[in-house]
């Protein structure tokens, strides 16, 4: 499809001029305002469908990469209520604290029979 779009753009560039071809492709110029119209109308239709598709695909790719980078960072850091070895501590909630997990894990300290809890990166 990109090849057809490129071929129509080059054809129109030679027939109606490069500036007019760009204007028709992007919807700035009406294909009815240029001569010959027989080559400008297909370029306009391709541009009407392809330009938003290319912009949407680019935006989708960038957003997906950012989301994947964010998830990879979250998984590698791990939540503060995880214990080494994959054991989860209980998650009591305390008023005024987001999860209550960090304070509860820190309060248990070394009296726990399992491995000591990890320190929370956000709450110290």
What is the pTM for the complete model shown?
Answer: 0.49
Q: Which residues, in sequence order, are bridge partners of residue 88?
A: 82
Residue-wise pLDDT tens digits, 54-99? 899 999 999 999 988 887 665 555 555 555 555 555 555 555 444 4
Place of tokens 């028709």: 24
Q: How many CB atoms lie within 10 A of CB 18?
A: 12
Q: Where along the chain do its domains lie?
A: 2-77, 80-109
Residue 105 has pLDDT above 80, yes or no: no
pLDDT at 63: 95
Burial of 116 (0-12, 13-18, 19+ CB in 10 A): middle
Give the per-residue pLDDT at 50.
87
Q: What is the pLDDT of residues 17-44, one digit of tens each?
A: 999 999 999 999 999 999 999 999 999 9
């Amino acid at each position: 499809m990109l090849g057809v779009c490129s071929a129509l753009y080059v054809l129109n560039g030679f027939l109606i001029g490069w500036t007019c071809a760009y204007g028709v492709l992007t919807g700035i110029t009406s294909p009815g305002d240029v001569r010959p119209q027989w080559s400008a109308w297909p370029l306009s239709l391709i541009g009407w469908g392809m330009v938003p598709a290319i912009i949407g695909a680019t935006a989708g790719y960038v957003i997906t990469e950012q989301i994947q980078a964010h998830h990879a960072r979250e998984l590698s850091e791990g939540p503060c209520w995880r214990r080494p070895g994959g054991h989860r501590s209980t998650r009591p909630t305390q008023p005024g604290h987001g999860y209550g997990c960090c304070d509860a894990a820190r309060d248990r300290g070394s009296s726990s029979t399992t491995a000591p809890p990890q320190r929370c990166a956000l709450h110290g």
